[in-house]
Chain A
Amino acid sequence: MLTLVRRVAAALGLTGLIAMLFRLRGRGGVPPQTGGWRELTEVELAGFLADEAQRAAAAEDGTAEAPSAGE
């Protein structure tokens, strides 16, 4: 029984030690400070419509750029 208690205490202690090391020595960096959700306006949606018309015309002319697999 005493052995079990010692083992549990050792396991908990070790876990705490590792957690403390991560907490103190971890280098998580700075969380992103920019970006987020932004609501689209009707003007933007209409702009997309115009862009699409251009892209469709370019695709018909065969002038659309093909993706390169290297990047």
Chain B
Amino acid sequence: MTPTIAVAGLGTTGGHVVRHLVDELSPPLALRLHDTDADAEDRARKQVGDRAPVEVGRIPGGETADVTILATPCGDHAAVASRLLGAGGHVVSISDSPDDIDALLELDDLAREAGRSLVVGAGMAPGLGCLLARHAGNQLDTVDSINIAKAGTAGPACARQHHRALKLPGRDWVGSGWELRAGGSGRDLAWFPEPIGARDCYRGALGSPILLHRRYPEAKRLSARMSATRRDRLTARLPMLRKPHQDGGPGAVRAEVRGWRNGRVETIVYAVTAFPSVVAAAVAVVVALRLAAGHGPVGASGLSEWDDANLILTELHRRGVPISTFSGIVGDPS
């Protein structure tokens, strides 16, 4: 039977989600699309054309889709996910807001009772960052620290969340507890693959450490940073001074994982440079397709908890997401 995948939110990232769902790498699907903007729904319907049966309307509405991808702006993902899980569907949320992530993780019991998967933070960071961290962690005997850094934004809603995140405190796991650190503090120069290159990154309200802690509770340090310019930091506490771009352009995500392998300290660094909107959509789609095929853990989970993280990375590579590793002096001072 052809699985039905619903997409809620047809903005920049949601549009790419629809495009990935109907490309030649995806199996035959039925789609259900929803946005508060009727024009966006029309555009998405035209984008699909005759490549898949499409139904446009409220979600959940009528028969529940097998999997619903929530690509709406941050804020109400938990409320919608709760309704969808109750109706018997799997849910994939791309929200990167820590408030959303906390609320979604609280739906774990509901998802388990329903025997369904609720995937939290299935975008670029968290999402791809968690997959890269897990991929590195799989090659180590124990993981001591993970640092995720990201640069760039997807669509306007993502840019607003990025702006908001820079002024809010972020949670870092240090030693054996969470520490609240001021947004915009902790400058760290992070190197991303070209064309992004070196960027100053700062703390903020970022969700990756919350999700990574579920997979690596024994790690001594879990942190995340986001790139920002001096102007970003100066204006973080003000409303956005101009309308965000329709697409934030190229961005990157980087996972630096330190730990032990065969009695030696090792550092593994993976990164991806690409358009955040495209990458976030690809991650959400690959995860949704795995759920539709009957794979994935029951209950609420981040992507670092998925045992088949490498299969997802391989599939992302097939879809044109370039995964790079840093080789050189890191962990090899000779």
Q: Which A residues fall within an 8 A CB radius of B?
A: 32, 34-40, 42, 45-46, 48-49, 51-52, 55, 64-68, 71
Contacts of B271 in A (CB 8 A): 37
Q: Are A64 and B310 in contact, with the CB atoms below 8 A? A: no
Contact pattern, B 304-320, Cβ under 8 Å of A = 1, otherwise 0: 00000011011001100
Residue pair B260, A38 in contact (C-beta under 8 Å): no
How large, as a class, is the contact surface on chain B? 20 to 34
Contacting residue for B141 out of A36, A46, A65, CB 8 A: A65
Chain A residue contacts of B318, Cβ below 8 A: 42
Report A39 CB to chain B, min CB distance, Å: 5
* Chain B residues whose C-beta falls within 8 Å of the C-beta of A65 in the assembled complex: 141, 262-263
Partner of A35, one of B135, B193, B322, B326: B326
> From B330, which residue of chain A is reached at the shortest CB distance?
A35
Please give the distance in Å from A7's CB to the nearest CB on chain B.
30
How far, in Å, is B259 (CB) from chain A's closest CB?
Answer: 8
Q: Which of B279-307 contact A (CB under 8 A)?
A: none
Contacts of A37 in B (CB 8 A): 193-194, 271, 324-326
Bits for B132-167, please: 1 = Cβ < 8 Å to A, else 0: 000100110110000000000000000000000000
Are B310 and A38 in contact, with the CB atoms below 8 A?
A: no
Measured between beta carbons, the chain B residues less than 8 angstroms from A40 are 317, 323-325
Can you report 6 residue pairs joining A to B where beta carbons are below 8 Å apart?
A32-B328, A40-B324, A49-B314, A52-B138, A65-B263, A67-B141
Asked if A38 contacts B263 (CB within 8 A), the reply is no
- Determine the residue in chain B with the shortest Cβ distance to A68: B263
The verdict on B241 contacting chain A, using a C-beta distance below 8 Å, is no
Is A35 within 8 A of B327, CB to CB?
yes
Contact, CB under 8 Å: A45 / B310 = yes
Which residues of the partner chain B approach A36 to less than 8 Å between Cβ atoms? 326-328
Contact of A71 among B193, B263, B311, B313 (CB under 8 A): B263
**Residues of chain B contacted by A68 (CB below 8 angstroms):** 263
Q: Which residues of B contact A35 (CB under 8 A)?
A: 326-330
Determine the chain B residues whose CB is within 8 A of the CB of A32 once the complex forms: 328-329
Residues of the A chain whose Cβ atoms lie less than 8 Å from the Cβ of B323:
39-40, 45
CA distance A31 to B52 in the complex (A): 54
B309 nearest CB neighbor, chain A only: A52
Chain A residues in 8 Å Cβ range of B325: 37-38, 40
Residue of B nearest to A66 (CB): B141
Are B138 and A55 in contact, with the CB atoms below 8 A? Answer: yes
Minimal beta-carbon separation of B92 from chain A (angstroms): 22
Determine the distance from Cα of A39 to Cα of B139 in the docked complex, in whole angstroms: 18
- In Å, the complex CA distance between A71 and B273 comes to 34
- List, in ascending order, chain B residues with CB within 8 A of A39's CB: 193, 322-324
CB of B178, distance to nearest CB on chain A (Å): 25
Is residue B265 within 8 Å, beta carbon to beta carbon, of the partner chain?
yes
The winner among B139, B265, B328 for most chain A CB atoms within 10 A is B328
A64 B264 Cβ-Cβ under 8 A: no
The 8 lowest CB-CB distance pairs between A and B, nearest first, are A35-B328, A67-B260, A37-B193, A68-B263, A37-B324, A45-B314, A40-B323, A32-B329
B255 to chain A, nearest CB (A): 13
Residues B327 and A38 in contact, CB atoms below 8 Å apart: yes
Give complex CA distance A34, B334 in Å.
Answer: 11
Kindly list 15 other residue pairs between chains A and B, CB separation below 8 angstroms, not including A45-B323, A49-B310, A66-B141.
A35-B328, A35-B330, A37-B324, A37-B325, A37-B326, A39-B322, A39-B324, A40-B323, A49-B314, A52-B310, A55-B139, A66-B263, A67-B142, A67-B263, A71-B263
